[in-house]
Chains A and B, each alone.
Chain A
Amino acid sequence: MGKLYSFKRSLWVFHASGGSCNGCDIEIIATLTPRYDAERFGIKLVGSPRHADVLLVTGAIPRDFADKLRRIYDQMSDPKAVVVVGNCGTSGGLFYDSYNLVGPIDEIIPVDVYVPGCPPRPEAIIDGVVKAWLKIEKLEKQLEGGE
């Protein structure tokens, strides 16, 4: 059994919205609903970061949200992956000169996968989570090879 066993099962996802406009957030919910139905791949939203394998983050991260995001990240158990959904979390996007934003997200927590788009389509979000999966699998192979 590899160290990253949990990633061979269903992926549980925690979604943190940090100053996003809700556009990405509702597309994440739309991803779960019958048209796109991410649950058939075993991808499921959970209510606590402690249960989650993957952290989905949206938004450009306002000043007093940064430490809360760090806390969410720390609460997640290893191994974990972070997926950033949307342009403003990826690069700042439209909000490039605000006084209350401290993003982009990769300056606050380590990010594995970026899903650009304003907002990205549900297919792109599923693809992003699958990319995170593949990345973890690759990491696992490296770890096993090293052992």
Chain B
Amino acid sequence: MTKSQYYIPIGPIHPALKEPIRVEAKVEGEKIVEADVKRGFAHRGIEYMGMKRNAIQALYLSERICGICSISHPYAFVVGSEKALGIEAPPRAQYIRTIIAELERIHSHILWLGVVAHEVGFDSLLFWTWKGREKVLDVLELISGNRINYSMYMIGGVRRDLKESHIKALKEMIDYYRIFNQEMKNLFLADPVYKARTRGVAQLSKEMALKVNAVGPTARAAGLRMDIRQDIPYDAYADIEVRGIVPQDIVGEVYGDAYDATLVRIYEIDQSVDIIEYCIDNLPEGKIMAIPNYVVLLSKIKRTKGEGIGAHEAPRGEVIHYFKYDGTRDGPAVWKVVAPSYNNINSWAPLLLGAEVADIPVVVAYIDPCMCCNDRIAVVRDSSGKIVDSTTLHRMAVEKTMRIKKELGVKK
């Protein structure tokens, strides 16, 4: 019996959230023989625009690369630019930067956990986690004036100082999240339904994670102990011995699956809370900007030649910015941005290859930290050419999960 090949596009429009992306798979019966990920539905040419603007304008542009990591890109931007230009931020500014970055990690991880809850069909958990997320957004709004896109960083410092009232709100928030995170551990990690739905799903081995260049929690869930805050410590992270959180340290074994990814993220919230507490207890006094005048800063940039690489561990993985200032313009001559999902999406194709149609939603949903919703516009045809609806697709996904579980011998 010959099997004809069918082409399955998924995306690029997802109803609920995240940027558009498209997974295209060729299937033979149930088996995927070719998978391609088409990106670029959100390609705005930011690097090109940044190379035409001055450094401060480009910094604001970098904030709009991603609205969720809206402080990670500016962080890598300022670290890279400071390396290239030979500017050093005052200690107080470095501590404030670290606090803001960790606040963002908390909000981003809770966001992800809520979306995962939505994917497993546990919508009340989505609403509950997002209710908890509002607390950190309130604190960020109090400090920076905006819920998202905080505009806190500047080359050589930060733009706003932390006041006594902010410290008080931060301390209150720390107490809140100590309790909230404990509840999250109970709801996610101890829940048998959640475990059954995620254990053994979208498994990425350590070797594969290395090969596809995976970063951040996706790599750490696979057992790779990599974290920019630990490998190339910068700012206040250099004062604190930050260590990457890997599942083998917590439960003693690594599966590299969606459950491990959840585990890593929940424990990282604990770590972030500890880092924030350390930073506010040891916050140095002093200036917050190395060069407070923007005109002076821009003219220094115009006079300076240099290159630098800035790296920051964003909630989803490492963000790398490369800069070259050529001494003729007040902006970067070359600017290259590598975001975490740029690398993590690499893992989709190998995980899909040889897998089955039912795996597409599973792989796309669990591996990518930039999650997208399952109920996207998709036309899926089975081998008889009949259109498979989303309910059937979902049932197939559940069956596949059960089978993988059996094959891997996952315990209850």
Tell me the minimal C-beta distance from A42 to chain B in angstroms. Answer: 17
B30-59 interface bits toward A, Cβ cutoff 8 Å, 1 = contact, 0 = none = 000000000011111110110010000000
**Residues on B with beta carbons closer than 8 Å to the beta carbon of A118:** 64, 149
Tell me the minimal C-beta distance from B79 to chain A in angstroms. Answer: 21
Pair A26/B148 contact, Cβ less than 8 Å: yes
Q: Is B67's CB within 8 Å of the partner chain A?
A: yes
Pair B130/A30 contact, Cβ less than 8 Å: yes
Tell me the minimal C-beta distance from B223 to chain A in angstroms. Answer: 29
Known contacts: A35-B134, A46-B15, A62-B43. The answer to whether A26 contacts B68 by CB under 8 A is yes
Distance, CA A88 to CA B64, complexed state (A): 10
Pair B67/A20 contact, Cβ less than 8 Å: yes
Distance, CA A101 to CA B43, complexed state (A): 8
- CB-based nearest B residue for A122: B147
Known contacts: A20-B19, A94-B61. The answer to whether A65 contacts B41 by CB under 8 A is yes
How many A-B contacts if CB must be within 8 Å?
Answer: 130
Interface size for A (C-beta < 8 A) is 42
Pair A45/B49 contact, Cβ less than 8 Å: no
**Residues on B with beta carbons closer than 8 Å to the beta carbon of A101:** 44-45
- CB-based nearest A residue for B131: A34
Pair A62/B44 contact, Cβ less than 8 Å: yes
Pair A100/B67 contact, Cβ less than 8 Å: no
Interface stretch among A1-9, A10-18, A76-84, A133-141?
A: A10-18
Q: Is B240's CB within 8 Å of the partner chain A?
A: no
**Residues on A with beta carbons closer than 8 Å to the beta carbon of B134:** 30, 33, 35
Tell me the minimal C-beta distance from A18 to chain B in angstroms. Answer: 7
Tell me the minimal C-beta distance from B369 to chain A in angstroms. Answer: 12
**Residues on A with beta carbons closer than 8 Å to the beta carbon of B66:** 21-22
Tell me the minimal C-beta distance from B115 to chain A in angstroms. Answer: 8
Of the candidates A15, A19, A60, A64, the one whose C-beta lies within 8 Å of that of B16 is A15
**Residues on B with beta carbons closer than 8 Å to the beta carbon of A45:** 15-16
- SS of B interface (majority): loop
Pair A25/B67 contact, Cβ less than 8 Å: yes
**Residues on A with beta carbons closer than 8 Å to the beta carbon of B83:** none
Q: Is A41's CB within 8 Å of the partner chain B?
A: no
Known contacts: A33-B131, A94-B61, A100-B45. The answer to whether A24 contacts B19 by CB under 8 A is no
B53-87 interface bits toward A, Cβ cutoff 8 Å, 1 = contact, 0 = none = 00000001100111110100000000000000000
Q: Is B111's CB within 8 Å of the partner chain A?
A: yes
Pair B43/A17 contact, Cβ less than 8 Å: no
Q: Is A29's CB within 8 Å of the partner chain B?
A: yes
Q: Is B173's CB within 8 Å of the partner chain A?
A: no
A39-68 interface bits toward B, Cβ cutoff 8 Å, 1 = contact, 0 = none = 000000111100000000001101011001
Tell me the minimal C-beta distance from A62 to chain B in angstroms. Answer: 5
- CB-based nearest B residue for A65: B41
- CB-based nearest B residue for A18: B20
**Residues on B with beta carbons closer than 8 Å to the beta carbon of A46:** 15
Q: Is A110's CB within 8 Å of the partner chain B?
A: no
Known contacts: A27-B148, A33-B131, A65-B20. The answer to whether A100 contacts B43 by CB under 8 A is yes
- CB-based nearest B residue for A24: B67
Q: Is B375's CB within 8 Å of the partner chain A?
A: yes
Of the candidates A17, A48, A59, the one whose C-beta lies within 8 Å of that of B17 is A17
Pair A29/B19 contact, Cβ less than 8 Å: no
Tell me the minimal C-beta distance from A40 to chain B in angstroms. Answer: 13
Distance, CA A28 to CA B49, complexed state (A): 27
Pair A23/B17 contact, Cβ less than 8 Å: no
Query: What are the nearest 6 A-B pairs in CB distance?
Result: A23-B67, A33-B130, A22-B67, A47-B375, A21-B67, A47-B15
**Can you offer 9 A-B residue contacts whose CB atoms are under 8 A?**
A15-B17, A29-B17, A34-B127, A59-B42, A62-B40, A62-B41, A65-B20, A88-B64, A100-B44
A residues near B, CB below 8 A?
14-30, 33-35, 45-48, 59-60, 62, 64-65, 68, 72, 88, 94-95, 97-101, 118-119, 121
B residues near A, CB below 8 A?
12-20, 40-46, 48-49, 52, 60-61, 64-68, 70, 111, 114, 126-128, 130-131, 133-134, 137, 147-149, 373, 375-377
